[in-house]
């Protein structure tokens, strides 16, 4: 079958078109004919840093939409012909291939109202945003307060803003630095926008808002860490999804809670609650079909080829992307 992968790690140009063997589904696996994929920061990070074993190739891709073509012996949630969307597992081959195997417990039914490309933009970011809000921060959906979303125009941020606005009573403040990204965040439903090139507390004060109860730190720099601490109320909560190079002691004076989110944890460790990702994707699909949550596609680059995928990686690495970039199936 066709695939896009790499044999040596490096810049986006290492991605090549290739032919690989058709995968075989395990007992809890679906075999999916991939119709569309999207790209995420994890793709370019793995490509740059992780070399495949000598003589082998590595296939990336952790966002897909497609059609189930076969199922393993113990599958109960889906059957052949079902349209699905999912993010997959970091320790297994990615979805940049014609066919892909994935555990049914981390797969959701594709929103009926979306095309495959529109649906492929949502799984990884939806799972990450949902787990930040409800699993890590344990937000009470009826409690009022302020959520600050740093880098709100990105893939995760644009979904997190929607979920927080639609499913909670929080005042949602997104950060952005350009007018086009600020407008996108407004379109996603943020109550307010502040400039993330300036201290966050200054932006909150100018809006006459109190210190934040929650901060979703979707990207961090050494400069932004003290800004986050300053912007949080005492006993507030910050969640990180990247790897901030900072110790915990600066957070102690305010007794701040720190949590970390990695949406691959459940599949990587085969946790007892792994099926929760199936359930939350099912709820996201329902919200999309009800018009409550919208897709975050902003760029479509055509069919899945090495050239198109490399262009998507380069765009992401520029650090100025808004929403998600998607590619269709193989030509």
pLDDT in tens, 72-99: 999 999 999 999 999 999 999 999 999 9
Can you give the C-alpha Rg of the chain in angstroms?
A: 20
The first and second tokens of residue 26, run together, are 């395990």
Instruction: Provide the pLDDT for residue 221.
Output: 86
Q: Is residue 162's pLDDT more than 90?
A: yes
What's the CA gap between 2 and 5, in Å, rounded? 10
| Element housing 281 (H / E) | helix 276-289
User: Domain 2-122+270-328: what homologous superfamily?
Assistant: Medium-chain alcohol dehydrogenases, catalytic domain (3.90.180.10)
For 254-270, the pLDDT digits (tens) are 999 999 999 999 999 99
Does residue 324 carry a pLDDT above 90?
A: yes
**What tens digit of pLDDT does each residue of 101-115 get?**
999 999 999 999 999
Residue 9 has pLDDT above 90, yes or no: yes
Q: How much is the pLDDT for 244?
A: 83
Q: What angle do CA 26, 29, 9 make, to 5 degrees?
A: 85
Q: How far apart are CA 85 and CA 278, in angstroms?
A: 10
Residue 253, classed as helix, strand or coil, is: coil
Q: What is the pLDDT of residues 16-36, one digit of tens each?
A: 999 999 999 999 999 999 999
Mean pLDDT, the chain, integer: 96
Task: Tell which residue, 24, 8, 25, has the closest CA to residue 16.
Answer: 8
pLDDT at 222: 84
Angle between helices 155-167 and 123-130 (to 10 degrees): 50
**What DSSP state is assigned to residue 101?**
E
Say which CATH class 125-260 falls into. Answer: alpha beta
Mean pLDDT of 179-205: 96
Check residue 186 and give left, alpha or beta (phi > 0: left; psi -120 to 50: alpha). Answer: alpha
Residues 192, 195, 200, 204, CA torsion sign: negative
Domain spans, the chain: 2-122+270-328, 125-260
Give the residue among 268, 306, 302, 264 at the shortest CA–CA distance from 7: 306
The pTM for the full model equals 0.96
């Amino acid at each position: 079958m066709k695939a896009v992968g790499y044999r040596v790690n490096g810049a986006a140009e290492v991605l090549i078109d290739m032919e690989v063997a058709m995968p075989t589904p395990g007992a809890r696996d679906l075999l999916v004919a991939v119709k569309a994929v999207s790209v995420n920061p994890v793709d370019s990070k793995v490509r740059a840093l992780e070399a495949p074993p000598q003589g082998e190739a590595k296939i990336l891709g952790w966002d897909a939409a497609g059609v189930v073509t076969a199922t393993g012996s113990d599958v109960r949630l889906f059957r052949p012909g079902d349209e699905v969307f999912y993010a997959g597992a970091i320790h297994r081959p990615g979805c940049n291939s014609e066919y892909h195997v994935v555990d049914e417990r981390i797969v959701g039914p594709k929103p009926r109202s979306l095309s495959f490309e529109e649906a492929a933009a949502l799984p990884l970011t939806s799972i990450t945003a949902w787990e930040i809000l409800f699993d890590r921060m344990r937000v009470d959906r009826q409690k009022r307060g302020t959520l600050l979303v740093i880098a709100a125009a990105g893939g995760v941020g644009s979904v997190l803003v929607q979920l927080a606005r639609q499913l909670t009573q929080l005042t949602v403040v997104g950060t952005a630095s350009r007018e086009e990204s600020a407008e996108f965040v407004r379109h996603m439903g943020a109550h307010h926008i502040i400039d993330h090139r300036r201290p966050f507390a200054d932006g909150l004060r100018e809006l006459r808002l109190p210190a934040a109860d929650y901060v979703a730190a979707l990207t961090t720099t050494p400069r932004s860490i003290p800004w986050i601490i300053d912007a949080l109320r005492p006993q507030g909560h910050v969640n990180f999804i990247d790897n901030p190079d900072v110790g915990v002691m600066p957070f102690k004076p305010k007794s701040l809670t720190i949590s970390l989110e990695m949406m691959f944890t459940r599949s990587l460790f085969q946790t007892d609650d792994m099926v929760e990702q199936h359930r939350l994707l099912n709820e996201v699909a329902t919200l999309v079909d009800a018009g409550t949550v919208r897709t975050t596609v902003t760029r479509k680059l055509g069919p899945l080829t090495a050239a198109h995928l490399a262009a998507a990686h380069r765009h992401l690495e520029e650090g100025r992307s808004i929403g998600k970039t998607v590619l269709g199936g193989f030509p």
